[in-house]
Amino acid sequence: MMRKLLILAMAALVAGLVIPGRDHAQAGGGLEISILSSSPDMVSGGDALVRVDVPSDVALGQVTVKLNGVDVTAAFAPAPDGHALAGLVDGFVLGENTLNAKANGKGAPAPAQLTVTNYPITGPIFSGPQQQAFVCTTARSGLGQPLVDNQDQIGIRVAQEDALGNYPQTSRGYPTAAAVIVGYSKDCSADTLIEYRYRTTAVPPSWQPLADPSATLPADIAYTTTMDGDYVPYIVRWERGTINRFIYSVAMLAPTSETDPSDPSQSLWNGKLVFSFQGGVAIGHTQGTTSTDAQLLDGSLKLGYAVVNSTGLRTNTHYNLQLGGETALMLKEHFIESHGVPVYTVGVGGSGGAIQQYVYGQNHPGLLDAAIPQYSYSDMVTQTIHVGDCELLERYFDVTDGGNPKWLDVENRQAIQGLNASWAPQNLSTGEKAQWNGIYNIYAYWGYPAATRANPAVPALTECRQGWFGLGPLVLNPTFTNVQDIDKLAQGTAGVEWTHWGDLVNIYGTDESGFARVPWDNVGVQYGLQALLDGVITPDEFLDLNANVGSWKESKDQVTEGFPFVGSFNPFDKSAFDPWSSRNMNLSPDGGITPAPRRAGDIEAMNAAYDSGIVFDGKIDIPIIDWRHYLEDELDMHHSHQSFASRQRVIEGQGHADNQVIWFTDARPAVAFDQTAQAFEVIDEWMANIKANPDMSVAENKPADAVDRCFNTNGSDFASGDDVWDGILNDEPAGACTDKFQIYSSSRIVSGGPLEGGIFKCQLQSVRSAIRSGVYGTWVPDNQQRASLNAIFPTGVCDYSRPDAGRPVD
């Protein structure tokens, strides 16, 4: 009963936020039913936190609530914030359910009815058919073997355990051949585990098990001061289990008076929730793993925030942001049902974790009330557009035109690729140098000019090579996978398509060959156009580049990668060395006399990307602090122009980006200061302003520190204000931060595309029209050059003044 009352109290505190425009029930109205834990059409797991608003002239004791005709009134208690009842109702059946509220007595108000649709806790709700094969990871995550859910040999084998819970297993928790198999698990579910951890005073500190917070505390326990000013032992209640087939985590500070983790007292939770999102790149078919640091987010927990995390909210598990959004909604629902509605919910996380915040904030209003995306990109799928260009261009530099000394200068490569390049990337540790020197030594062995360096101990690299190397096969090649333990899939891997597109086949659909539709397109793209205009390359070099750059083969025609992706170095077989994945390219058969064909992307796939919301379109009106270390000198894949690409999309999506601020911290010569704690402080003040001034906009509620800023390496302010990033998205003179941090672009931007990226398929104009409109600057092609342009671009060249041809027509 205590747990229920505490949940009701917390839910009541924020009911006005959950039900906009109605703080209290008014006399003379009817009863009203609402679901506080989710949308009523997306309840999961058979239970929901329900509120019934009652007119002020009706006694709460007169109200009866029924679920599918069964009286559930006993689950409710008065909500102290208004004349209402609230309660955690369980017993919802799968599919449609009916909640009824009725008041008895003379003059009773109109009754209320609400249809509620319930889904299994294993999902799905709206993400479509679930993947099989699917690797369960509960054992290696400390939750034991997955629960048996079938005897049809679908999923992972589950072994018989002895009285101590032991069974013959591999080091990663899978049963060996000696085990007695008692069933199979396709949903990878596990029993919920709730335990305590404490933070140590060791250097570095660590998390250690704690059996009972109310007993004598360990001598090495740390203490923390919460946002509310309480100085308390640093003890965390940690709940783990499975939701939507992924492993979730819920953590919050626990008081020393707590003796039963299944009945939390809430006394040390500050009422605010943090979603801990994680990054990486992967292609599904696994339950995934996560880190203790992400689950037990020290910087937030010590202040009193609750922290939720899931392997399904890590892009190193999958990049299906429709599935991820569904998982986030289900996890927040579970949290609310257990702990009440948060005062606000803020997301935090880098790279793919930043993408999730932008995309989920756009697609699921109310899931996040604020966001702190770090090392951000706008979304995943539009990154594949320019990442798909990387190895096409690298091969041209290294092989096709490898005899041209121009490509030994990394700045010339940079002019074509748009991304950063350097003779000496700063983040090449000794180990990484050895790795890259090894590859470049192989280049040298086979005589590729790219290996010729003035100082072979410090290789010259582009971001394509240092940052994005290997992502091409992972995204495009159905035969290539980084999923671990695929040999443990009971149903095998036959028929699995190991691509990003295959991971999202529920969104993209399949083509006539049975493979997932692929939107990647480079028809009409004039690679190196800006380099031509700037005089970095000659017209003949421009023509040769575009005649030979080529494109990617269709999924059905792709073959197994070569070394260094698959196999080992063979000094007797030069053809096995293929760091460009050229065996999967469409190339010219005769060195450009016959231009290499370009690839036309699938329009249905492009339309689906937009329609599903996996493209960030900028419709997100919540407080956002987009922060990153400036890592361009390291050739890090998290290129800094993406923060501004997101800003431009927000401007286009909602007419302004006043709700987004951009912070950079200098990481030269090394990463030294993390601005995340400062961002949390500003977000907290921002959210307090919104609560105090609900009639004002998000932008109007900005605190003084919620402004564009850049910081020195030690975290001190370098510059702040509305004009510090001038010169990037406007024609004003460069602002102070713009001057301090050089912003690069991408291969499509230097081909004439917009900074915000995201053009799947450009609309075309004829070569004749491009010449007339001055696309080529002072170069006026002669008749032979015009003929070459028309041969390379028989259907025309990109006209980026017009919108994406892949965007659905409204």
DSSP state at residue 121 = T
What is the full DSSP assignment across 376-402? Answer: --S-STTHHHHHHHHHHHHHIIIIITT
Amino acid at 271: G
Q: How high is the pLDDT of residue 24?
A: 40
Residue 797 β-bridge partners: 765
- Write b or e for each residue in 497-508: b if 16 or more Cβ atoms lie within 10 A of its Cβ, otherwise e: bbbbbbbbbbbb
Q: How high is the pLDDT of residue 731?
A: 95
Structure tokens at 664: 């950079």
In angstroms, the Cα distances linking 92 to 97, 99, 115, 480, 750 are 6, 10, 11, 43, 56
All residues at 6 or more sequence positions from 798 whose CB lies less than 8 Å from its CB, including other chains: 524, 525, 526, 751, 752, 753, 762, 763, 764, 765
CB 274 within 8 A of CB 353: no
CB 120 within 8 A of CB 97: no
The answer to whether the bond into 202 is cis (omega within 30° of 0) is: no
Of the candidates 318, 279, 271, 311, the one whose C-alpha atom is nearest the C-alpha of residue 295 is 311
- Residues 796, 810: Cα–Cα separation, whole Å: 25
Tell if the pTM clears 0.85, that is, is over it.
Answer: yes
All residues at 6 or more sequence positions from 564 whose CB lies less than 8 Å from its CB, including other chains: 439, 442, 577, 579
CB 470 within 8 A of CB 477: no
- Write b or e for each residue in 125-143: b if 16 or more Cβ atoms lie within 10 A of its Cβ, otherwise e: bebeeebebbbbbbbbbeb
CB 228 within 8 A of CB 271: no
CB 175 within 8 A of CB 157: yes
DSSP state at residue 501 = H
Q: How high is the pLDDT of residue 458?
A: 52
Strands 235-243 and 193-199: antiparallel
Count the helix, strand and coil residues of the chain and give each as a percent rounded to the nearest 5. 30, 20, 50
- Determine the distance from the C-alpha atom of residue 86 to the mean position of all C-alpha atoms in its chain, rounded to a whole number: 34
Helix (H, G, I), strand (E, B) or coil at 282: coil
In angstroms, the Cα distances linking 224 to 161, 669, 762 are 41, 32, 55
HSE at residue 722, side-chain half, CA atoms within 13 A, is 6
Residue 278 β-bridge partners: 314
Residue 96 β-bridge partners: 117
Residue 429 CB coordination number (10 Å): 9
Kindly list the structural domains of the chain, giving each domain's residue range(s) and its CATH number in brackets, ordered by start. 2-119 (2.60.40.10), 395-461 (no CATH), 626-740 (no CATH)
In angstroms, the Cα distances linking 687 to 13, 553, 690, 705, 757 are 15, 49, 5, 13, 31
Of the candidates 90, 20, 78, the one whose C-alpha atom is nearest the C-alpha of residue 51 is 78
Structure tokens at 430: 């000794």
Q: How high is the pLDDT of residue 16?
A: 36
- Residues 368, 372: Cα–Cα separation, whole Å: 11
- Residues 649, 804: Cα–Cα separation, whole Å: 13
Q: How high is the pLDDT of residue 610?
A: 97
Helix (H, G, I), strand (E, B) or coil at 764: strand
- Residues 61, 105: Cα–Cα separation, whole Å: 11
All residues at 6 or more sequence positions from 234 whose CB lies less than 8 Å from its CB, including other chains: 198, 199, 221, 222, 223, 224, 253, 301, 302
- Residues 582, 571: Cα–Cα separation, whole Å: 19
Amino acid at 428: L
Helix ranges (DSSP H) in 668-708: 676-692
Residue 32 CB coordination number (10 Å): 19
HSE at residue 107, side-chain half, CA atoms within 13 A, is 7
State which residues of the chain have pLDDT below 70.
1-28, 424-438, 440, 449-460, 484, 486-492
Q: How high is the pLDDT of residue 427?
A: 59
CA dihedral 406, 409, 413, 415 (to 10 degrees): -90
Q: What are phi and psi of 85, to 5 degrees?
A: -115, 150
- Write b or e for each residue in 560-578: b if 16 or more Cβ atoms lie within 10 A of its Cβ, otherwise e: ebbbbbeeeeeeeeeebbb
Helix (H, G, I), strand (E, B) or coil at 78: strand
Q: Three-class SS string for 620-663?
A: CCCCEEEEEEECHHHCCCCCCHHHHHHHHHHHHHHCCCCCEEEE
Residue 339 β-bridge partners: none
Cα angle, residue 180 at apex, residues 175 and 182 outer, rounded to 5°: 95
